[in-house]
A = this chain, B = another copy of it.
Amino acid sequence: MANKHDHEHALEEVFAGMPGDGLLCELGDLFKIFGDTSRIKILFSLFESDLCVLEITKILGMEQSAVSHQLKILKDAHLIGSRREGKMNVYFLSDDHVRSIIGQGFEHLTEKEVHIQ
């Protein structure tokens, strides 16, 4: 009975600490963007250097239109930006959070590997 009461108290704490549905949804949407190999590849590419669409297309080895679609998604999420250079649109990382987030993901994966050994 005391145990049950503790659990209900825990539930209250959980409800209190839970962000609103809006924020949770935004957070989900943000991570969804990282949850695709093509987009991760684009981001990794931009870690090294600003690149135009054609270059990214060569790196990913897929249709140019597919790349443009993914670039739009990344740009809408403010993860990348673009500028014009002559005939080309050059894309770049818009801030270093992208690096940190992907870095944390990496750490999780590599530490798990160590753990498995």
A positions within 8 Å CB-CB of B:
7, 10-11, 13-15, 17-19, 21, 23-37, 40-41, 44-45, 47-49, 51-52, 55, 58-59, 78, 95, 97, 100-102, 104-109, 111-112
In the assembled complex, 24 residue pairs joining A and B whose CB atoms fall closer than 8 Å, in A order, are A7-B52, A11-B59, A13-B49, A14-B45, A14-B48, A17-B44, A18-B44, A24-B37, A24-B44, A25-B37, A27-B40, A28-B34, A28-B35, A28-B36, A31-B32, A31-B35, A31-B40, A31-B105, A32-B36, A34-B34, A78-B112, A95-B108, A95-B111, A101-B101
Q: A36 to B31: give the CA distance in the assembly, Å.
A: 8
Q: A15 to B45: give the CA distance in the assembly, Å.
A: 8
Q: Closest CB-CB distance, A28 to chain B, in whole Å?
A: 4
